[in-house]
Amino acid sequence: MLLNPLHAALLGGALLLSASLAQAARTVIDLAGRSVTVPDQVQRLVLGESRYIPALAILEGDQVVDRLAGLLPDFEKTDPAGYAQYLDRFPALAEVPRVGHASADSFSLESVLAMGADLAIFSIEGHGPGAHNRALIDRLERAGVAVVFVDFRQDPLVNTPKSMRVLGEVLGREAEARRFNVFYQRELALVTDVVKTISRDQWPTVFLHSRVGLHDSCCETMVHGMMGLFLEAAGGRNVAADRIPGVSGVLNLEYLIADQPDRYVATAIGSGGLATPISQQPYVVLGAGVSETTARQSLQRITNRPGLSVLEAVQEQRAFAIWHHFYNTPLNVVAVQALARWFHPEQLGHLAPEQTLAAFYEQFQPVPLNGTYWVDAEGEPQ
């Protein structure tokens, strides 16, 4: 078929446009196993969980706020002192529109579409929309918003480097992602290479008391996911592993009294910046802006309560506390090192998680390290 000059010009233009579009998009495999086409140059992104700002900062550095079009406000609600550090360094963060409140149900599709976002970063599961929110994902993608899933909580020690690699690909920050992953895997290996040489019958039994003080009932714990997986990596036997089948659950205090754990580890959700003053919070307090003395006093306040105070691990100074938000951040490797030093002081007492934490902030964060992120009951240095 012969084309007249006008039709030929139109066809040529269409082919050029098609080729241009093909070059302007790339395909990545996200942590949900989905093949996702993303813009070649992401301009505006929405975070399904704003607690991923520190993860984003590993790649974006001083430009961490520049591409933010919207976010769920879970960072400022669950870790107000940590959020305040970022707000002080990046005042523009206050102007980034919030999408809903701090749960997937409050996530507003209409708001995201109005922001002109071209990428949404969600966790497989968590406070924001997850992989199970199929209808929302479909509507976003039909509207031209690419959706990419990452994971720092379901299988954190396996999926952290994978997630950072995917984020590096979609944001054009591959070199930054590779640099962080080298750091992460080196620091994790300092623990796992030694733990695998220690006979399992030498591993201490551990009770991980999650979000202590949040509920009247005792005792919430994490098992097959999130921070529960840190125990195994650090060479600890989770006393709830054979009794709670899921990611988390409740283990009765009576069980702990009858079958005493060798170590007691509380996760701390107390923070500066909450409505209740630190000295009156019913939680262990750790994180940004918290001194070691304040952290230890909060742990002692919790473990002196009736019930927990009868545990031998508490009475014999084998009680510890760790920052709860380690469970959902690429910084999780620091928590594994701290736990391993508590669990195996002879074989892993040389570990220096405080130096690892300092190096992380110095090399990968645009805000300074300022605070206490774990503490023991007896007053040994962190």
pLDDT at 102: 57
**Rounded-to-integer distance, Cα 217 and Cα 219, Å:** 6
Confirm whether 23-171 and 198-374 share one CATH topology.
yes
Residue 381 pLDDT level (bands cut at 50, 70, 90) = very low
Given a contact cutoff of 8 angstroms between Cβ atoms, the answer to whether 119 and 38 are in contact is yes
Homologous superfamily of 23-171: Nitrogenase molybdenum iron protein domain (3.40.50.1980)
Mean pLDDT in residue range 72-80: 93
Of the pLDDT bands very low, low, confident and very high (cuts 50, 70, 90), residue 134 is confident
pLDDT at 120 over 80: yes
CB atoms within 10 A of CB 149: 23
Residue (of 301, 131, 95) closest to 120 by Cα position: 131
Residues 337-366 have a mean pLDDT of 98
% of residues, the chain, pLDDT over 70: 90
Give pLDDT tens digits for 150-179. Answer: 999 999 999 999 999 999 999 999 999 999
Angle between helical axes of 53-60 and 174-195 (0-180°, round to 10): 120
Is the CB of residue 59 less than 8 Å from the CB of residue 171?
A: yes
Q: Which residues of 28-40 are buried (b: 16+ CB within 10 A; e: fewer)?
A: bebbbeeebebbe
Higher pLDDT, 379 or 253: 253
Is residue 305 scored above 90 in pLDDT?
Answer: no
Indicate the domain borders of the chain.
23-171, 198-374
Count CB atoms within 10 A of the CB of residue 199. Answer: 6
**pLDDT class of 128 with cuts at 50, 70, 90:** low
DSSP characters over 300-340: HHHHTSTTGGG-HHHHTT-EEEEEGGGGGSTTHHHHHHHHH
pLDDT of residue 58 exceeding 60: yes
CATH, domain range 198-374: 3.40.50.1980
